[in-house]
Structure 1
Amino acid sequence: MVAINIFHEPSFHEKLKKSPSLAQTSALLAAIAGYAIRFLPLENDSEVEKDMQQVKPEMRTPEFFVNMALQLIDQALSDCGDEPPDLCVLQALILATHCQLTQGVLGRAWRSLGLCVRLAYELNLHLLDSTSTFSQSPENTELWSEDEEKRRAWWAIWEMDVFASSIRRTPTAIDWMQMEVLLPVPDIYWHSNSPTRSCFFEQDPTRRWKTLHESGNQSPKAWFIVINSFMKDGQSISCPRGVPSINNPHSRRESARGYHCDDVEKSQQKLETLANAVHCFIRVLPDHLRYRQQYLSFEARLPGEIESCRQLHCSIYNIYAMTQLARLMIYRYDVFGSQTQAPPSMLLGALGTRYFTALQDEGASELSQYFEAADNVLTIVNRSCENHVQYINPFLSSTIWLAAAVQLVRKQLEGPGTKTALIKTRFDLLYLTYTQFASFWGAKTSMQQDLESLEVQLESCNPEDALLPASQNRWSHHRLNQQYNPDLSNLEHSISQTGLYSSPCEHRGEWCLVFGLASTLPLKQLLT
């Protein structure tokens, strides 16, 4: 498994033999099958492929095995009574939950993730290294290897928690203030049972990257965890409140007023600090994990290899794409944050003026960096093999979605011309890549449809007026009410059905859809 790596391969068969119950073993194998069956036909095992052809079609789907795994997990947990379950039960649940979240952060997946967190706490994984002296390698090799497997389980849950809470715009279920777990080490050390140094996850973002750098730990997963945490920090600062209840308009108005009272200057300082931390992270990222415009082929691992070209390219892609998402979350506040407090009729004109100014000073404004991050996502997509969506972290599909949505807004601001056609082709490529994600991983199609809907709504606007100064813009509040007054009641109903909500504000409709996309749309699976 490239996207998720929680098993010690050299001892895996022995692990199965020592499993305390058939239910636990079956749950683990069913969960593995639920994840792996998407990759049929197998590249290096024609016998397995031949055997699978004898199975009924409905029994060859990921859903079949994931549901089987969840039933067996329930049975295994029931058998445990009040005793903590074995680690393999948690590992099975991690895989099953990962498969569910990949399809959408919906009710069942959300609740499965909650169970993962509770079981991890029950097993005291959050305090696994509370007595560790990480400045020295442990002497007990076997114990270190077992603990590393537990660390992998913990960080896999942490990663799912960050993703799902970002999608739903909620606090994380895991308390980052109470984590005493070392970051994972490179696979080559773990699989060869060679203890090596690592470090803890620092609470202070300015220390987080520095501590990892100073530890000498070059694990791709450890570096991904750090940049992933910056993304979540950026979202939490720029969008501190979740999406209000769609069933209570009064609560939305109250939430909006509270949001406007936030200390803007303090938030901007935090985001600037975080942006600097991201730049430092990029500077100290190990050379082999850096993306330098090289082509990523994602070639398969050869028999006997511990680390493969595919694993390396997956790591490079994941870290680079997450870095761009972190930048989008950070610069979102300066680009959209203050504008979302204005009436929706003023938003496009104000942003258009800022865009026109940014064109005069390319690269100096937050808006330019916001668009640059979206372009960088396009670059790595362009420089990767056609089927790379099968091997990278499937959670990154929301990053591709956001980059596509940003291109739509950018096209609208550009107005007619040659560059508009160029930006449209950028959107088309990202859109097709997202549909590849959705097709291979079985993701819900709602977000795909919303990209199409967003494009139609934006194209119904007049792009030329967006570039006029605010004083001349026909979309000033007074004139918009006369010339452009969409049926917001219908839009309200439509958006409510899809769960699309921008950062908290009183106004709804397509304007909030556009100017909230950097906070909610890219990171909120649709609850349909």
Structure 2
Amino acid sequence: MLALAARFSSAPHFNQKPNVVKGEEFAESAKDMYYCCLRAAQKNTLEFLQGCTLLAFQLYLHGPTTEGWMVIGTCTRLANELGLHAIDFQSESDVFSPVSLEWSKKEGLRRVWWSVWELDTFSAAVACRPQTIDRMTMQVKLPVSDKNWFADMFMESSIINPDPVHSWHTLRDCPNQDERAWFLLINYFLLTAHDLGQQQNLQRKETQEIEKVISCYTLLLPPQFNLLEDLNPSSFRPNRVSNFNWIIVTNIMLQGCRVFVKLLHDDASTPRFWSSSRNLLTPLAAESQFRAPEARYHICTDQIIRIIRMWPPEFIPYASPFIGCLVLGPAALHLRVAMGHRQAAGDRSDAASLEEELLKLALSHIAMYCRFGAFLLDFANSITTAKQLE
């Protein structure tokens, strides 16, 4: 926790240190404690799981690594062993002890679970590997707002139906309308589309179904998710920056879903998402995997550009840095489409378009506090450099 917080600290102790390295001494101590606990083979506890989850996030801030992948694996196994995957399982015999916990404590357990789930799904998707968590067995309600939880104010929520055809209306008529709950739901659909892409015999009907599901979800989104030009970010300052960021990243992820579905449509009979490469970002970059005409993706890229234009720069570092992958787009399609604007504008082929610059500048704000952002920025620059050398 100290390692994560130190990046934003103005304490004299960190003078002259770049933001991205401020917490490294704490991170090394956390790693030492983690391996010490593993060697001691102590009884698994919620506190240990919470520490492992924070450590996994800290490790992935430096980019996808084998060490981070292994720690996430520890998190998923611990979460299952502690029964968090079934925290809201209901039965007549009330077998699961968490059911008897008061609401606020139970809500805290849900939050731990969803943090682990996010790490597992991201690490699996970026590496084109199967996720560890079996979403078919999940019985966990979506988290409510921080305001309700901190004030111990009960609010009913819903469990995501594992069948995508029925999951899109999870939050319809639900008292819980928190922005993060809607984000987790679209994250679930992105994972579903990604899983379809890994199938060896994908049926067009499945692609059409997930496309309709995403359309239904879009029409069901609450009004605050409509990014109108007169949307005023100042109304979210200073205590609701996270709410605004959830709105932004939900819209970015929605475009990511649409790109995935288009990719599936382009080659539904021979899916290209699967990769056995050890380079975890190869699936993101490999243009050869996706022989799709870039013109089909202009609408999605234009929407991404519009979303970033409405994102206050000072808000960007406080969002999940992992969203940077979808700023570039699956197979870096948003970047590739933006590069196509060079010729459209009649500029020199080696001069970046404004759209390219906008995408990279968004990544640069992530990179101010997170090596993963710098990693993505270098990755984007390598793609544009390679294009110039063709």
TM range (shorter): 0.7 to 0.9
Q: Residue in 1 aligned with 2:360?
A: 431
Are 1:397 and 2:366 counterparts?
no
Are 1:194 and 2:149 counterparts?
no
Aligned residue among 198, 205, 217 for 1:269: 205
Q: Residue in 2 aligned with 1:492?
A: none
| TM-aligned CA distance change 1:234 to 1:297, over 3 Å | farther
In 2, distance between residues paired with 1:38 and 1:110? 22
| TM-aligned CA distance change 1:185 to 1:214, over 3 Å | same
Q: Residue in 2 aligned with 1:231?
A: 190
Structure 1 SS opposite 2:357: helix
Structure 2 SS opposite 1:211: coil
Are 1:181 and 2:140 counterparts?
yes
In 1, distance between residues paired with 2:212 and 2:173? 18
Q: Render the CA deviation track for 1:403-456: whole Å, top value 9, x for unaligned.
A: 894355336667834276898210121022223323421127554334233224
Aligned residue among 16, 19, 38 for 2:7: 38
Q: Residue in 2 aligned with 1:313?
A: 244
- What is the 5 A alignment of 1:370-449? 370-402=297-329, 405-410=332-337, 416-418=343-345, 424-443=353-372, 445=374, 447-449=376-378
In 2, distance between residues paired with 1:332 and 1:276? 15
Q: Residue in 1 aligned with 2:109?
A: 150
Structure 2 SS opposite 1:131: coil
| TM-aligned CA distance change 1:420 to 1:182, over 3 Å | farther
Number of positions where the alignment pairs a residue of Structure 1 with one of Structure 2: 365
Does structure 1 retain, via aligned residues, the 8 Å contact 2:86–2:139? yes
Q: Which runs of 5+ in 2 are unaligned?
A: 93-98, 273-287
Structure 2 SS opposite 1:213: coil
Are 1:73 and 2:31 counterparts?
no
Aligned residue among 224, 230, 234 for 1:288: 224
Structure 2 SS opposite 1:197: coil
Q: Residue in 1 aligned with 2:284?
A: none
Are 1:451 and 2:380 counterparts?
yes
Amino acid at match of 1:173: T
Aligned residue among 118, 127, 148 for 2:77: 118
Shift of 1:111: 0.6
Q: Residue in 1 aligned with 2:65?
A: 106
In 2, distance between residues paired with 1:132 and 1:200? 15
Higher gyration radius (CA): 1
Shift of 1:198: 1.0
| TM-aligned CA distance change 1:407 to 1:177, over 3 Å | closer
Shift of 1:313: 0.9
| TM-aligned CA distance change 1:445 to 1:161, over 3 Å | same
Amino acid at match of 2:319: I
In 1, distance between residues paired with 2:224 and 2:255? 18
Aligned residue among 146, 153, 159 for 2:118: 159
- What is the 5 A alignment of 1:210-229? 210-229=169-188
Shift of 1:203: 0.8
In 1, distance between residues paired with 2:271 and 2:209? 23
Structure 1 SS opposite 2:382: helix
Amino acid at match of 2:306: T
Structure 2 SS opposite 1:147: helix
Structure 2 SS opposite 1:162: helix
Q: TM-score, normalised by structure 2?
A: 0.82
The range that moved more, 114-123 or 70-79, is 70-79
| TM-aligned CA distance change 1:166 to 1:297, over 3 Å | farther
Shift of 1:58: 12
Does structure 2 retain, via aligned residues, the 8 Å contact 1:438–1:445? yes
Q: Residue in 2 aligned with 1:172?
A: 131
Are 1:84 and 2:44 counterparts?
yes
In 2, distance between residues paired with 1:412 and 1:336? 23
Amino acid at match of 2:166: R
In 2, distance between residues paired with 1:372 and 1:435? 24
Amino acid at match of 1:296: P
Shift of 1:153: 0.2
| TM-aligned CA distance change 1:417 to 1:101, over 3 Å | closer
Aligned-residue RMSD, C-alpha = 3.4
| TM-aligned CA distance change 1:108 to 1:444, over 3 Å | farther
Q: Render the CA deviation track for 1:336-392: whole Å, top value 9, x for unaligned.
A: 667999xxxxx89x866x84xxxxxxxxxxx1xx32222212112112222332111
Q: Render the CA deviation track for 1:205-251: whole Å, top value 9, x for unaligned.
A: 121121221323212222111100111111221343xxxxxxxxxxx
Q: Residue in 2 aligned with 1:278?
A: 214
Q: Residue in 1 aligned with 2:277?
A: none
In 1, distance between residues paired with 2:15 and 2:374? 31
In 1, distance between residues paired with 2:17 and 2:303? 43
Amino acid at match of 2:310: R
Does structure 2 retain, via aligned residues, the 8 Å contact 1:297–1:313? no
In 2, distance between residues paired with 1:182 and 1:340? 32
Does structure 1 retain, via aligned residues, the 8 Å contact 2:321–2:372? no
| TM-aligned CA distance change 1:413 to 1:387, over 3 Å | closer
Does structure 2 retain, via aligned residues, the 8 Å contact 1:205–1:230? yes
| TM-aligned CA distance change 1:417 to 1:145, over 3 Å | closer
Structure 1 SS opposite 2:343: coil
| TM-aligned CA distance change 1:74 to 1:413, over 3 Å | closer
| TM-aligned CA distance change 1:142 to 1:315, over 3 Å | same
